[in-house]
Amino acid sequence: MAGIAAGAGRRGGDVTEAEVAKVRRMLLGRLYGRAAPAEVVGQAAAVAAVEAVVRQTVESGEGNSVVVVGPRGSGKTAVVQQALAAAGSGGRHHVVRLSGFVHTSDGLALRDIARQLLAAQDAEGAGAAGTFAEALAYVLGVLRAADGGVAPVVFVLEEFDQLAQHPKQALLYTLFDMAQRAQTPVCVVGVTARVDVMDLLEKRVKSRFSHRLVHVHGAASLEAFTDIARTALHVDGDSQFARQFRQRVEEILSTPAVAAHIAAVYEIDKDARQLLQLFAAAVARLTAAEPLLCLEHVQRSIAHEAASGKMRVVGGISLLELSLVVAMHSLVRGGSSKYNFEMVYDEYKQFMSRHVIAAAGGGAMKIYKKPVALKAMEALVALEVVRPAGLSVAGPTAAAAGRNDLLAGTAAGARAPKEYRMVQLMLEPAQVLALMADRTDVPVVIRRWAQQ
């Protein structure tokens, strides 16, 4: 398996940059949920149920509504996209996509509805129409005039439960009410992770909803979960490139490290989005020179996902802040469980004075003055890499003021200078060494200092 990481990535036959770019766009669209997948693994019943509702509107002109419910990452959006793609051949129609996280008010939703229905030039007229229902009716009227007839409209409402937080639920009431009329065929497809979504709806909104609920569940087995990635990375065709691409995908999925990480994701939360993101970086790097997925890129994504949140935070700290971390690490090795800035700076200054450190670029690494180092220490405290030695250092007054404990006071309540307040490093020795290994800008002598 090790052989697939490097040179083997350059196979693929005679493939042009345009062909690779087309495959890259297609796969990234699937991985990021912008395009319908080739198949929604294990969700055939859910796709068929949503497709039937949409097809009734697209083909027969009936008003309908349905809400798709399921855990986050279970494939709800993919189910809706697949259903829309399958029902799309039934006739000419429009699709409007809204999100409760984006469209936080009815006004924002109305403007985006107008924009997506190609009636943005008449948005001012919609705004002057009066109520939200009148404004939306105006937009649909403009649409009918532009189409020269009545074209069905499918509204896809992501984060449906958030839209239910709007005042008087005017958006949902208007859409559900229009779905019961014969003027413009409207289909409303809600998507939510809340199983109690029906309890959020007002009585008047609930009375206009069809009460169709389609439940989506996570992958039933690890094999089905792996098939989600296999399907998303599938390239159709019988060309040499397509065959080799599918073979490379199989090789990567069967690699022990990749298979183990997929199993870990499945055991934790079965989140398909987290699974697919592992391959996004590798797909984004596809070129005509290297048209096949590279195992090394996938492994880097796995390593990034596996890293703790704490390590991600400290990954971008400055070299001075890193030096102070190593100084605290040195004090811990010397038996000091608690220390203050004066002790840390003294350790840092003594080490720097004993060594002449030349940076890779040829310049000397200087010893920073105490005020500069204190600012760096405060930055580490703000990142919560360093914390006060006692959790109740500042007491409730400082907590209420929103100030950091290190800068607020001491356990005894005295206003001691912050240079003398005792702190602790919140990184384990192994994490400090891992942090040094991940950085390429660290002088060799600093690395040795951390390893002593």
Q: Tell me the CATH architecture of domain 313-451.
A: Orthogonal Bundle (1.10)
Q: How far apart are CA 323 and CA 368, in angstroms?
A: 11
Number of Cβ within a 10 Å radius of residue 324 = 27
Q: Tell me the CATH architecture of domain 43-215.
A: 3-Layer(aba) Sandwich (3.40)
Q: What is the DSSP letter of 227?
A: H
Query: What pLDDT shows up at residue 447?
Result: 84
Q: Is the dihedral of CA 254, 257, 261, 267 positive or negative?
A: positive
Note if the pTM is more than 0.85.
no
Query: What pLDDT shows up at residue 4?
Result: 44
Q: What is the DSSP letter of 24?
A: H
Query: Is residue 438 helix, strand or coil?
Result: helix
Q: For helices 240-253 and 256-268, what crossing angle results, to 10°?
A: 70
Q: How far apart are CA 299 and CA 283, in angstroms?
A: 13
User: Given the DSSP bridges, would you call strands 386-388 and 423-425 parallel, antiparallel or unpaired?
Assistant: antiparallel
Q: Distance of CA 337 to CAs 248, 333, 346, 414, 421, Å?
A: 51, 9, 16, 22, 13
| Stretch(es) of the chain classified as CATH 1.10.10 | 313-451
Query: What pLDDT shows up at residue 8?
Result: 46
CB 434 within 8 A of CB 326: no
CB 46 within 8 A of CB 215: yes
At 106, which amino acid appears? D
| Stretch(es) of the chain classified as CATH 3.40.50.300 | 43-215
Q: Is the dihedral of CA 286, 288, 293, 294 positive or negative?
A: negative
Is residue 174 classed exposed, middle or buried when 0-12, 13-18 and 19+ CB atoms within 10 A define those classes? buried
Query: What pLDDT shows up at residue 301?
Result: 87
Query: What pLDDT shows up at residue 182?
Result: 65
Query: What pLDDT shows up at residue 403?
Result: 46
Q: What is the pLDDT along the chain (452 residues), one digit of tens a residue?
A: 444 444 445 555 578 999 999 999 999 999 998 887 778 888 999 999 999 999 999 888 889 999 999 999 899 999 999 999 888 765 678 899 999 999 999 889 988 888 888 644 454 445 445 577 778 887 777 776 666 667 788 999 999 999 998 888 999 999 998 888 767 789 999 999 999 999 999 999 999 999 999 999 989 899 999 999 999 999 998 999 999 999 999 999 999 999 999 998 998 888 899 899 999 999 999 999 999 999 999 998 888 776 666 677 777 888 899 999 999 999 998 888 889 999 999 999 988 887 754 444 444 567 889 999 999 999 999 888 898 886 544 444 444 444 444 544 444 444 678 889 999 998 888 888 888 877 778 888 888 888 87
Residue 121, both tokens: 């030039």
Helix (H) or strand (E) holding 275: helix 272-277
